Amino acid sequence: MAPQGPQSRPPRIPLSQLSHGPSSPQASWHDHRWPASPYLKGCGPRDLCRPALGHVGASLRLFGTSGIRGLVGQEVSPELAVKLGMALASLKGSGTYVVARDARTTSPMLAMSLSSGIMACGGDVVDLGLLPTGALAFLSRELKAQAGCMITASHNPPEYNGFKFFRQDSAPFWPEEQEAIEKAISKGSFKLATWDKIGDCWCSDEAERYLKALSDLVELNRSWKVVLDPGCGSASTLAPRAFRSIGCEVLAINASPDGHFPARSPDPRPDTVADLCSVVRASGADMGFAYDGDADRMVVVDEKGRFVPFDVALAAFSAYLIRSRGGGLVVTTVEASYCVEEAIREAGGDVVKTKVGDVAVSMEVARRGATFGGEPCGAWIFPGVHLCADGVLASLMVLKALDEEGLRPSEFFGRVKALEVVRDKVSCPNGLKEAVMEALSSELPSLFTGVRDVIDIDGIRVELQDGWVLVRPSGTEPVIRITAEAREAVRAREIASVAIGAVREAIRRAGGREG
């Protein structure tokens, strides 16, 4: 008999009864035609138990700043997924594991491969189907799972996919847990179960449990008209349900899950959410929200159909939260604008800056008992609910703040003294990043006058008399990111231009092609 899960074990639901399962009423795990995969050709069962080679070889480095991501068929494959599952269950032991996925075409394939690996080492798997990452993290805790895994590449293009792992307390895996997974795969040290101890797998629709938790947090004084743009991602059906459950009038666009992301990029930016801005204006809505591929991030559009800058949204909401609670600590990153820190301190709060990435922010929030954590990309963490960035939750909390203060979005966000921020990126092969950053560590500060300080918490941040610039390697894409800020737009662009030129030259000298 397979090891039993916790007593709160979810009821088993036939795959055919779930909206994310096969369309045929008679379909099952055995006869559903999941996407065919060429990635395991020539790979037998014994091969999966050997130490990983190639991109997961002796110099193994799988995890970035937010889980594991890569091109499917190259960095990410069913073989890797099976090994991740075996490593996970070998380290965490028997019990129940929860798995969910985004809308990407390769997500079912990877979810099944990961689940097979978990089962091979004695773990039971609850397949939660299509869900946002925040919901998976929340349910990892609510279902008392050994761990949770989200199959997603978040905001990356559709040809990418990946894995995010969560602890039983809903936090992303910390570095030591990530390292243990990598070590187990590198050495091939898996604790395979005997034939009579293989784990079980079943589907369970737990979305309602998550939705109820969200609706219990928000009580509105009036009905709001809201436009939602899930971008054909994992929040396509859940986000509209969440807003309707608190009495909102909802107009949803791009709300049919589609792993090709035909409507727009899964990365919501001013240029990719232009349709949302237009619909907000045309419909006379109170505001709009858009989400990335797995809805761990959100963006805000005000009642005039204007994109609210990431830093402004973070600053305004953080200040509201500090005022409403009479103080507190906010964790943000070295990439955040000065306006975020200024708004928080003016509201009576304290600020701690950490590395970029939801893992780093979540760790610091947990360690310091912070009130709130947020990145200037729309990834916000509410520790009173769970310890994962959650775009659907964040958008509901923004609406709650506006409702409590009786303000229109333009008024609420207009209170922030915004500075000029330029964000750009330069293509750089992952293998060259270390050499490029090493060269820039000494060269970049020398290119500017009036240098006040150089901070190396994450990449290189050069503090100037009239602004700052941060150059750091992305943990999720083959790029070097550049962020610059100044009081005037011209100066911000000038600072960014100098840094971009330095990055391109460093890449060229390292043997790459300038992005």
Q: Which residues are catalytic?
A: 154
Buried b (16+ CB within 10 A) or exposed e, 182-196: bebbbeeebeebeee
Cβ partners under 8 Å of residue 63, min gap 6: 173, 175, 178, 181, 182
At 380, which helix (H) or strand (E)? strand 380-381
How far, in Å, CA of 13 to CA of 377, rounded? 37
Please state, as a whole number, how many other Cβ atoms lie within 10 Å of the Cβ of residue 369.
9
Contact 233, 103 (CB under 8 A): yes
Closest CA to 187 of 53, 42, 55, 44: 53
Other CB atoms within 10 A of residue 203 CB = 20
Buried b (16+ CB within 10 A) or exposed e, 115-137: bbbbbbbbbbbbbbbbbbbbbbb
User: Residue 427 belongs to what H/E stretch?
Assistant: strand 420-427
DSSP string covering 309-356: PHHHHHHHHHHHHHHHHT--EEEEETTS-HHHHHHHHHTT-EEEEE-S
* Residue matched to tokens 């960014």: 496
Tokens of 12: 């088993």
Q: Ramachandran region of residue 172, left (φ > 0), alpha (ψ -120 to 50) or beta? A: beta
Residues 288, 298: Cα–Cα separation, whole Å: 10
DSSP 95-139: EEEEEEE-S-TTHHHHHHHHHHHHHHTTEEEEEEEE--HHHHHHH
From residue 412, how far is each of 5, 243, 287, 319, 325 by CA, in Å? 46, 20, 12, 10, 17
C-beta pairs of 448-456 under 8 Å, 24+ apart in sequence: 448/495, 448/498, 455/334
Q: How far apart are CA 483 and CA 18, in angstroms?
A: 44
Rounded CA separation 103/140 (Å): 20
Tokens at residue 311, please? 């830093």
184 three-class SS: helix
